[in-house]
């Protein structure tokens, strides 16, 4: 028996306890509804799944922390993806015409951008995009421009990140194939386009038995004019290289500023011919245990250009191979074996080469390279290029596993390398100044399986002077059984991996059923400051300036004139919710039509499309934009034009008739 | 003071309580790691966010329950999306060439598919896809084919769901614009293509003052040959309609089998001309309080065709308006006001019309329509078409809010209508046989705000005879501030909504930065049985049969012959990891080249690409596929060809040289 008072105390304690306990149960994890348990059970989610779901889900209206710009591979486009939600925010039309964004379907400015990329006047309307490169200032992404190459035809595109649209495509006049580009130098002085398959300069004809004499690699330095937002051909130059199939490149930074590094995969100079009993390329290019890391002094190359030590070939300055080799622009160092990625560490001290057919990454010291060059300790390759001694320039080798390809970095002194054959990401420790946590340097730390056949790898700001850590994205080439089947052509698979803790953890599988991406770069979202609408009404989106044919409301008109023996009809039209003005455009068969349309909206997202049936025309007119189409009215008839962006409740009624009298 | 025993008892109770409480805290939700709480706190997730994350996250390697086929709008393509994860699984090239899938970039079969869709010989290389339609058997999706229209040029495409590739594009020879199609009849007897903007038949020239006499709508019934997987032009027919701008259509089913319903938005026969002081189309088409629901008896139309009561115009049988009106094929019923969607309830008893400029959905009874027709209670419109009395055929009207557009159904007797102006989804109760839960029929139940400007709405099997319930997807036209800004052209926003509980709940925002989708259909994933690889080596993916130029390993060859005064070089090549055979292809400038390539792989996902630099060619050769390119070697030089799908560690070495001697 207890005293009343004691009872009361106990009761109080018990009640408090029960209440606390009940509160604990009602909200077992603060903010987590009981319903969560039901969902977890019903869907069979593992604890890892639950954490991954919570880490990647983006609540409605909240923004991703990072934006990834990924090559779209042979779609020819660029993919814009939010991280961590792994949602595809946009596909940017680059080398392939894309009608949703009105890119290459009648709009004169975009047709001119595409035409600039034609080769010998022959239309090239797709590309094989490989390596996107964000513009940099002092080695940091600055969020202003994005560059991307077309491997199939050796071209480079410039995308302005104010409106995420392609502004320029330059065709490399001397190369027909590139791979190791774009890469930028640390202040975007140049966008570097590395070669791939050797061919005679200007891709002229030469039989394969003249391979050594006539075939060449070409490293292109496209000078970038940030003010104009355009590549400046006059200040650009190329360096002639031996026909070694140069692969990826990266620019030196900080201590290695002024240098560029490229690797190579066919120092054998194999020329294939399996059908003639020769070893196929896959065997012929893989005989040598060592290929050559190309070490290029671009500051020295600039000096040679200033000194006139170049030839102009097809309109661009070229430093010939002999000059480059003699004048200290080009050096080689042995690298094992048919490597893929060459990646400069954040501080520029080390160059990491993924061996591909060798289980190591090989780390070169920039300091040692400089010493070896200064000491003159080299032999020369058959083209006279100085070859440094491997032992003189090697800092370390780390055995990671099968098929190391490409490396990115975090903020804690670790590197992450994709292993294609192992289908894994390898985390390993850097040495030297990066080793502050007492971990053993140059050592494999962990391997995480990915699904499947990883090519490149990307990390937030992971190839800049200050990587963020947090995530890596595995850009896997095969998905096999990973997604709901959608036919024999499978999506690729981007896997988001959390690297913020001690261990790497798989968070998300994102199918890419729209192209085969190669490289990607990931920028802090808040570095991007795009236009929400164009700055003023009448904006020319290609020129990024007010268009002379901008039309104000009330100033719409149609003019007819004779010009060069034909009738020219010129229309100045406005578009606003929910009508075009004029709505009736009448011409005669054979007339030349010049048609300017200005979207006079100022509201965000108030885009109008403009489709003209039967004439293969579609425009996307974002708020403020002026666009021009120009064509011959070569078929008579009655053709509706209409708005293709669902702009209002009366969007379907936003139309007009283009009447072509026979 | 307490007794020792009492103390002991109390201590025991307390300890038990504390232990129970602690257990509750240690594993507050079974299987939920403590880390989840940290993530929830760090990311500021609400309880609703947590549930949504857990409902939509798809663990690596697990498959989505549903697959959504969405129009890609004016991208010209079809989007394939997993539900509930809202991941984009694939983009199918339809009206626009797409190089990743080798669609229209040299491959002869796909070029022929695209060319079939040209108009008057003029290339049309984009489309404005609106309404995807899955093939049906007895009103259920059967997972075999997908059809989709091109509004801009009045075309219809056929996609085979064995490989998710486009097999046929038919150009409507008499219409230049369509909107209400494709829709299928319940056994895919026909794919119905409804019109949009009226134009003279064959889109010949006629001035707008002849609008009433010369301009027409055309409803097309494309007969589908399921065996051949192709539209059969010979059995197809059209019905001439007044120039009322017919909009969406839907096929009757079950009790209304044999009928099709379309609405219209310009019974005013407005012809615009704001620039001439006329009311713009947006006003001119919105004067009437009522437009006309078109009620079409396609079984009767078939009889007329059999009886020869048609004219052949531009190669297709056309039932003239006068015949259709006289012979009981075409009836009208008044419908308020410039409506958008017309949607037949699962059992076929009701036809639901979204008023667009009227706050109601109007529900018509098929039984009442039949009675009114039988009773002959009608007047006639200016074209002689019988107009039934509104009160005779109306079952109910439900006031939902501003801008009702389009309606889908669940499995519990409820309908879901998109409200464009309200930016909301309205859930409302059906009546009649659907009302088994005692709820009041024909009544608004709930409205859920969406973000923003919803156009269509889709639900799992939601327009078939047996909707699944569970979800609806809001296909929102504007995203405004919903996503990380990516320039003035904003993504659209698909919102996944859970309808499995009593209340609708928003689960997920999916940006669509690749086109402006209109309608979508959602099929149970297990109904799809696509090929994982092609059935045998040497498969022609367009013809879906063995290709006569299939090449076995060891049978590769090059033949040179004279033909029509020029040299023809024909190549039979194989592709397998990691080489092409032959690797050297030598021709002379001016030669005509016919090039067959067979991917002899049998492994899933072992796709090879084939790019030919400088010649605008890229193929995607899935395992087993044979493809052919044919072109003139019109420029001399040295052109690498290479594999564009990263197939193996030696993928970069999978190349060859195409040598064109001057």
Q: Does B590 touch chain A (CB under 8 A)?
A: no
Contact list in A for residue B24 (CB cut-off 8 A) is 21, 24-25, 28
d(CA A333, CA A267): 12
Residues listed for chain A: 662
Asked whether B248 and B263 are in contact (CB, 8 A), the reply is yes
According to DSSP, residue B74 is labeled G
Q: Do A91 and B56 touch (CB under 8 A)?
A: no
What the block records as the tokens of B166 is 């486009």
Residue A316 · residue A238 · CB < 8 Å: yes
- Return the ∠ at Cα A461 (arms to A460 and A465), rounded to 5°: 150
Q: List the Cα angle A285/A286/A287 in 5-degree steps.
A: 100
Nearest-Cα residue of chain A relative to residue B482: A61
Phi/psi at B658 (5° precision): -100, 110
pLDDT tens-digit profile of B162-185? 999 999 999 999 999 999 878 999
Cβ neighbour number for residue B637 with a 10 Å cutoff: 23
User: Which residues in chain A have Cβ-Cβ distances shorter than 8 Å to B285?
Assistant: 653
Q: Which of residues 310-329 of B touch A (CB under 8 A)?
A: none
Chain B closest-CA separation from residue A420 CA (Å): 7
All domains of chain A in start order, with CATH: 66-271+280-527 (2.130.10.10), 539-661 (2.60.40.420)
Would you call A163 and B487 a contact, using CB atoms and an 8 Å cutoff?
yes
CA distance B522 to chain A (A): 14
B65 CA: distance to closest CA in chain A (Å): 9
| Residues A516 and A453: beta-carbon distance below 8 Å | no
- In the 8-state DSSP scheme, what is residue B525? G
Residue found under tokens 């501080």:
A347
Q: Which residues contact B27 (CB under 8 A, 6 or more apart)?
A: none
Q: Kindly state whether A285 is in contact with chain B, defined as any CB-CB distance less than 8 angstroms.
A: yes
Does B84 lie at the interface with A, CB-CB under 8 angstroms? no
pLDDT, chain B, mean: 95
Instruction: Tell me, yes or no, if B505 comes closer than 8 A to chain A by beta carbon.
Output: no
Question: What value, to the nearest 5°, has the Cα angle with vertex B511 and ends B506 and B517?
Answer: 100
> Any idea how long chain B is?
662
Contact (CB<8Å) B90/A528: no
Cα B391 to chain centroid, rounded: 35
Nearest residue of B to residue A100, measured between CA atoms: B75
Helix (H/G/I), strand (E/B), else coil: B112: helix
Provide CB contacts within 8 A for B95, sequence distance 6+. Answer: B76, B77, B114, B117, B124, B125, B126, B127, B129, B150, B155, B157, B169
Contacts of A501 (CB under 8 A, 6+ apart): none
Closest-CA distance, B462 to chain A, in angstroms, reads 21
B423 half-sphere exposure, CB direction, 13 A CA radius: 14
The residue among B22, B69, B151, B152 with the most chain A CBs within 10 A of its CB, best to mutate, is: B152
What pLDDT does residue A180 have? 80
Contact between B554 and B580 (Cβ < 8 Å): no
The minimal CB distance from B652 to the residues A202, A204, A247 is found for A247
Could you say which of B54, B75, B533 has the minimum Cβ distance to residue A40?
A: B54
Q: How far apart are CA A651 and CA B4, in angstroms?
A: 84
Query: Which H, E and C letters describe A541-583, residue by residue?
Result: CCCCEECCCCCCCCCCEEEEEEECCEEEEEEEEEEECCEEECC
Non-local (6+) Cβ contacts of B401 within 8 A are B359, B419, B421, B422, B424, B426, B447
Contact of A554 with chain B, judged by CB distance below 8 Å, is answered with no
**Beta-bridge mates of residue A660:** A587, A637
Tens digits of per-residue pLDDT, B457-491? Answer: 999 999 999 999 999 999 999 999 999 999 999 99
A535 backbone dihedrals φ, ψ, rounded to 5°: -60, -35
Window A:610-629, CB contacts with B under 8 Å: 611-616, 618, 620, 622-625
**B279 close contact with A: CB closer than 8 A:** no
Nearest by CB to residue B516, choosing from A100, A511, A532, is A100
Q: Is B179 on the interface with A (CB under 8 A)?
A: yes
CA dihedral B383→B388→B391→B393, nearest 10 degrees, is -130
pLDDT for res A22: 39
- Cβ–Cβ below 8 Å for A54 and B39: yes
A153 and A124 Cβ atoms separated by less than 8 Å: yes
Q: What is the ipTM of this complex?
A: 0.95
Name the residue with tokens 């207890």: A2
Contact B538, B598 (CB under 8 A): yes
Mean of pLDDT values over B555-571: 97
Please give the Cα distance from B68 to A484 (Å, whole number).
Answer: 12
List, in sequence order, every beta strand (DSSP E) within B49-125: 66-71, 78-83, 87-92
CA distance B319 to B297: 12
Tokens standing for A182? 């774009």
**Most A CBs within 10 Å, among B11, B652, B661, to test the A interface:** B652
- Please identify which residue in the block is written with the tokens 């009940």: A22
Whether residue A53 and residue B49 make contact (CB cut-off 8 A), yes or no, is: no
Interface test with B, best of A66, A111, A638, A650 (most B CBs within 10 A): A638
Q: With an 8 Å Cβ cutoff, is A30 touching chain B? A: yes
State the nearest Cα–Cα gap between A20 and chain B, in angstroms.
Answer: 8
What pLDDT shows up at residue B18? Answer: 43
Contacts of B31 in chain A (CB under 8 A): 37, 40-41, 45-47, 50
Min Cα distance B406 → chain A (Å) is 13
At B570-621, the pLDDT tens digits run 999 999 999 999 999 999 999 999 999 999 999 999 999 999 999 999 999 9
Helix (H/G/I), strand (E/B), else coil: B627: strand
Instruction: Report the C-alpha gap between B598 and B621 in whole angstroms.
Output: 7
Which region, left, alpha or beta, applies to residue A444 given φ > 0 means left and ψ of -120 to 50 means alpha? beta
Q: Torsions phi, psi of A499, nearest 5?
A: -115, 15
Can you tell me the distance from the alpha carbon of A617 to that of A639, in angstroms, rounded to the nearest whole number? 12
Residue B404 in this model has a pLDDT that exceeds 90: yes
Mean pLDDT split into 10-residue runs, chain A, 662 residues: 48 45 40 84 95 97 97 98 98 98 98 97 97 98 98 98 98 95 95 97 98 98 98 98 97 98 97 97 96 98 98 98 98 97 98 96 98 96 98 98 98 98 98 96 98 98 98 98 98 98 96 96 98 98 98 98 96 98 98 98 98 97 98 98 96 97 98
Contact A653 B338 (CB under 8 A): yes
CB contact under 8 A, A481 and B89: no
């Amino acid at each position: 028996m207890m005293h009343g008072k004691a009872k009361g105390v106990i009761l109080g304690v018990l009640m408090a306890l029960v209440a606390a306990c009940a509160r604990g149960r009602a909200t077992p994890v603060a903010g987590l509804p009981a319903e969560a348990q039901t969902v977890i059970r019903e869907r069979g989610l593992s604890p890892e799944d639950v954490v991954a779901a919570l880490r990647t889900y983006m609540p409605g209206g909240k923004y991703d922390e990072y934006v990834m710009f990924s090559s779209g591979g042979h779609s020819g486009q660029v993919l814009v993806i939010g991280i961590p939600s792994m949602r595809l925010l946009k596909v940017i039309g680059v080398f392939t015409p894309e009608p949703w964004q009105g890119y290459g379907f009648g709009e004169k400015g975009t047709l001119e951008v595409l035409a600039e990329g034609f080769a010998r006047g022959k239309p090239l309307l797709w590309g094989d995009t490989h390596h996107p490169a964000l513009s940099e200032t002092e080695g940091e992404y600055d969020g202003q421009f994005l560059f991307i190459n077309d491997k199939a035809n050796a071209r480079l595109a410039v995308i302005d990140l104010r409106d995420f649209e392609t502004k320029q495509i330059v065709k490399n006049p001397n190369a027909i194939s590139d791979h190791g580009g774009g890469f930028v130098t640390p202040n975007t002085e140049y966008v570097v386009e590395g070669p791939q398959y050797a061919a005679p300069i200007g891709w002229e004809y030469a039989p394969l038995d003249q391979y050594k004499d006539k075939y060449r690699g070409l490293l292109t330095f496209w000078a970038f004019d940030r003010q104009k937002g355009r590549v400046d051909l006059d200040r650009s130059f190329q360096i002639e290289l031996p026909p070694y199939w140069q692969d990826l490149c990266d620019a030196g930074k900080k201590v290695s500023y002024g240098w560029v590094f490229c690797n190579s995969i066919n120092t054998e100079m194999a020329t294939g011919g399996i059908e003639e009993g020769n070893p196929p390329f896959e065997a012929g290019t893989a005989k040598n245990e060592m290929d050559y890391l190309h070490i290029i002094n671009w500051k020295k190359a600039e000096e040679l250009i200033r000194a006139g030590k170049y030839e102009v070939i097809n309109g661009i300055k070229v430093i010939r191979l002999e000059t480059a080799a003699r004048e200290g622009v080009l050096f080689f160092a042995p690298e094992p074996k048919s490597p893929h990625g060459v990646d400069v560490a954040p501080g520029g001290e080390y160059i990491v080469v993924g061996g591909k057919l060798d289980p190591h990454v090989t780390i070169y010291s920039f300091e040692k390279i400089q010493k070896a060059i200064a000491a003159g300790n080299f032999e020369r390759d058959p083209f006279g290029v100085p070859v440094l001694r491997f032992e003189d320039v090697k800092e370390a080798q780390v055995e990671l596993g099968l098929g190391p390809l490409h490396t990115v970095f975090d903020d804690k002194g670790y590197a992450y390398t994709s292993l294609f054959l192992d289908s894994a990401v390898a985390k390993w420790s850097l040495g030297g100044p990066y080793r502050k946590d007492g971990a053993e340097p140059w050592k494999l730390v962990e391997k995480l399986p990915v699904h499947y056949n990883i090519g490149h790898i990307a990390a937030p700001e992971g190839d800049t002077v200050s990587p963020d850590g947090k995530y890596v994205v595995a850009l896997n080439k095969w998905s096999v059984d990973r997604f709901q089947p959608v036919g024999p052509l499978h999506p690729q698979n981007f896997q988001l991996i959390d690297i913020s803790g001690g261990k790497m953890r798989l968070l998300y599988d994102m199918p890419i059923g729209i192209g085969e991406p190669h490289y990607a770069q990931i920028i802090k979202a808040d570095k991007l400051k795009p236009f929400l609408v164009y700055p003023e009404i009448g904006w020319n989106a290609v020129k990024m300036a007010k268009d002379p044919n901008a039309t104000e409301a009330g100033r719409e008109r149609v003019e007819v004139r004779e010009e060069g023996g034909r009738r020219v009809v010129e229309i100045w039209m406005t578009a606003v919710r929910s009508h075009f003005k004029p709505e009736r455009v009448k011409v005669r068969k054979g007339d030349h039509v010049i048609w300017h349309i200005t979207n006079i909206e100022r509201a965000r997202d108030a885009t109008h499309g403009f489709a003209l049936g039967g004439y293969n025309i579609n425009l996307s007119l974002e708020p403020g934009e002026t666009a021009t189409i120009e064509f011959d009215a070569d078929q008579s008839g009655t053709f509706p034009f209409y708005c293709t962006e669902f702009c209002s409740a009366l969007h379907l009624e936003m139309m007009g008739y283009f009447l072509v009298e026979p």
